[in-house]
């Protein structure tokens, strides 16, 4: 049986024990993962520390960038391996891996290789009493060893989005993939070794969060900064760990994102967009929509159109081209989502579609399936409208005015993203400046340029990554002042 190994100091190594890797679509054991020990974490951090002082630290920016282009090219060469691994780890349809998640992961390496070469730093001429002046200029230096803690919902894409800028800026990394989805991080280790990224620059340690690899890594005194994507409560625990030694953090956290559709919107485009924002990846997308506000005149017609479209989603074998709907990641997550389904019902929601467990073929019987679900009729203070569910479900409410919908959309502790549908562009811009989120889409969703800032307001995150903004976290800006 395949064992996903840890990747430390340029070599694949076993661990203290092994844990199961299950395919969520079938519930089948697809392999084992080597569980790193505290000593392994120590070795990975030590290797990352010494790589900074060795060959890697001495490479020019141009040579570092060239290596990252080679990483991207090698991911493309091994495209099918990455697609297959991510598909089995997540259970999500192959088509999504092929068209979005894997190519976009490779694109991250190209994009950040380009960005580091093209970002200027500031300089100032400063007057002095003797009239000669002084020149101030800034230089960027890598922060050092970066701990990269990843979630399971689009593992390779989200990891590459951190690893690529970290390496482009000259740092080294120790990655902890989610325990649910370890395989593509190991494949990336093979790619790094193949293209000649020096040992110790990219390390992977597998394991769990609390009292395990995640905690050991984030508490490690030689880790200089921590970048994390995952749940808000986990972010709090990691921030506590980071306080020791005052290490910097960058957090992409949970959301409870609103979708807002005005009566003048292109209805069919809005339905298509909200279909994706609610059900893509079985609703396990941080940017996904779980609260929908529809302007009164089109409420009934919208609910009907969305539920008709959602009823065409069918659980299926992820390998099949025709499969358009995948499972939840684990039995534990399925129990959590089903508890929200029961809670909605108990609180008096009208279940428009779904609300339970679908019928599936024999091979998928042990997978972690839930039905695409749409509710109406709950009040704004219902638990189902306040907590992030992270499943294929949304609640739809009518609204009457711009002011009202802004207030209701903002009435949440989260602030990651929103999607607004209207043909009135003045209104769209007004709304965009009033909704308290890091990312607003107008007449679109997940139309993201890798050069733009990404991150959440309120409890949805700390800091921004993406494009030049990643450099704020992955480098230290130093000022040099020269008396002329
Ligand atoms: P999670 O917080 O449970 O786990 C994420 C990672 O943190 C895993 O690798 C886990 O092992 C590790 N971890 C857990 N406890 C830890 C601890 N105490 N110390 C160190 N590491 C620890 O999140 P998840 O369930 O894997 O992912 C789903 C969540 O991620 C959702 O809340 C979703 O909204 C969020 N998410 C946010 C974004 C974003 O960009 N804002 C993107 C994707 C997912
Ligand atoms: C969240 O689950 C995924 C976010 C990915 C992106 O924003 C991206 O641009 O790739």
Q: Which of 108, 159, 255, 286 to mutate to test the pocket of ligand 2 (most atoms within 8 A of CB)?
A: 286
**Mean of all residue pLDDT scores within the chain:** 98
Helices 61-77 & 155-168, crossing angle to 10 degrees? 160
Catalytically annotated residue among 23, 286, 393, 394: 286
The whole-number average pLDDT for the span 280-298 is 98
Does residue 203 come out as left (phi exceeding 0), alpha (psi in the -120 to 50 range) or beta? beta
Q: Residues 443-451: what's their mean pLDDT?
A: 96
Q: Parallel, antiparallel, or unpaired: how do β-strands 248-252 and 461-462 relate? A: antiparallel
Strand arrangement of the beta sheet that strand 461-462 belongs to: 11-13, 6-8, 202-204, 172-176, 145-149, 225-229, 248-252, 461-462
Q: How far apart (Å, rounded) are the C-alpha atoms in residues 281 and 430?
A: 31
The crossing angle, in degrees rounded to 10, of helices 425-434 and 402-410 is 30
pLDDT for 292 beyond 90: yes
Q: How many CB atoms lie within 10 A of CB 133?
A: 13
Strand 202-204 versus strand 172-176 pairing type: parallel
Mean per-residue pLDDT, 279-306: 98
Q: Is the pLDDT of residue 112 over 90?
A: yes
Report the residue among 448, 464, 467, 470 best suited for mutation to probe ligand 2: largest number of ligand atoms under 8 A from its CB. 448
Tell me: pLDDT of 125 over 90.
yes
**Is 238's C-beta closer than 6 angstroms to any atom of ligand 1?**
yes
Check whether 386 has a pLDDT greater than 90. yes
Predicted confidence (pLDDT) per residue in 189-220, tens digit: 999 999 999 999 999 999 999 999 999 999 99
Q: Is 206 exposed, middle or buried (0-12, 13-18, 19+ CB in 10 A)?
A: buried
Strands (E), 231-367: 248-252, 257-261, 289-295, 350-353
> What separation in Å is there between the alpha carbon of 254 and the centre of ligand 1?
9
Question: How far, in Å, are 15, 31, 180, 320, 332 from residue 19 at the CA level?
Answer: 10, 9, 10, 28, 16
pLDDT (mean) for 114-122: 95
322 pLDDT higher than 90: yes
The candidate with the shortest Cα–Cα distance to 33, out of 186, 239, 193, is: 186
Cβ(438) – ligand 1 distance below 6 Å = no
Domains of the chain listed by start with CATH number: 3-253+460-483 (3.40.605.10), 257-449 (3.40.309.10)
- Nearest listed ligand to the Cα of residue 232: 1
Q: What contacts 199, CB < 8 A, 6 or more positions away?
A: 9, 10, 11, 47, 51
Label residue 16 by pLDDT band (50, 70, 90): confident
């Amino acid at each position: 049986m395949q064992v996903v190994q840890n990747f430390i100091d340029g070599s694949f190594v076993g661990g203290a024990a092994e844990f199961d890797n299950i395919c969520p679509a079938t519930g089948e054991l697809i392999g084992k993962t080597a569980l790193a020990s505290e000593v392994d974490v120590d070795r990975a951090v030590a290797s990352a520390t010494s790589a900074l002082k060795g060959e890697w630290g001495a490479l020019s920016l141009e040579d570092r960038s060239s290596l990252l282009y080679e990483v991207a090219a090698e991911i493309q060469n091994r495209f099918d391996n990455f697609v297959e691994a991510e598909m089995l780890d997540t259970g999500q349809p192959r088509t999504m891996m092929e068209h979005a998640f894997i190519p976009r992961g490779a694109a991250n390496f190209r994009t950040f290789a380009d960005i580091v070469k093209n970002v200027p730093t500031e300089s100032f001429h400063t007057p002095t009493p003797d009239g000669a002046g002084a020149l101030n200029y800034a230089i960027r230096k890598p922060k050092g060893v970066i701990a990269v803690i990843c979630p399971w919902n689009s593992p390779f894409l989200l990891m590459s989005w951190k690893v690529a800028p970290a390496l482009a800026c000259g740092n080294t990394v120790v990655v902890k993939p989610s325990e649910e989805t370890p395989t593509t991080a190991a494949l990336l280790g093979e790619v790094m070794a193949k293209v000649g990224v020096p040992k110790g620059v990219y390390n992977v340690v597998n394991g769990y969060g609390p009292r395990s690899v995640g905690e050991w890594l984030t508490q490690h005194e030689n880790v200089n900064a921590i970048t994390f994507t995952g749940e808000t409560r986990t972010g709090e625990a990691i921030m506590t760990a980071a306080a020791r030694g005052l290490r910097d953090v960058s957090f992409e956290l949970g959301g409870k994102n609103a979708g807002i559709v005005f009566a003048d919107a292109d209805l069919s485009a809005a339905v298509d967009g909200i279909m994706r924002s609610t059900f893509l990846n079985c609703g396990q997308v941080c940017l996904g929509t779980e609260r929908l506000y529809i302007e009164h005149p089109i409420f009934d017609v919208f609910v009907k159109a969305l539920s008709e479209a959602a009823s065409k989603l069918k659980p299926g074998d992820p390998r099949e081209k025709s499969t358009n709907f995948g499972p939840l990641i684990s039995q534990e997550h399925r129990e959590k989502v089903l508890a929200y389904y029961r809670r909605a019902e108990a609180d008096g929601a009208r279940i428009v579609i779904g609300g339970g467990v679908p019928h599936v073929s024999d091979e998928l019987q042990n997978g972690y399936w839930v039905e695409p679900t749409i509710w109406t009729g709950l009040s704004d203070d219902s638990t189902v409208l306040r907590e992030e569910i992270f499943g294929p479900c949304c609640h739809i409410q009518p609204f009457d005015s711009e002011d009202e919908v802004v207030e209701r959309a903002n009435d949440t502790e989260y602030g990651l993203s929103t999607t607004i549908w209207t043909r009135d562009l003045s209104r769209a811009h007004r709304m965009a400046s009033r909704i308290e989120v890091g990312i607003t889409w107008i007449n679109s969703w997940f139309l993201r340029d890798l050069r733009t800032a990404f991150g959440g307001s309120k409890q949805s995150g700390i800091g921004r990554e993406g494009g030049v903004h990643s450099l704020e976290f992955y480098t230290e800006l130093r000022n040099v002042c020269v008396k002329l």
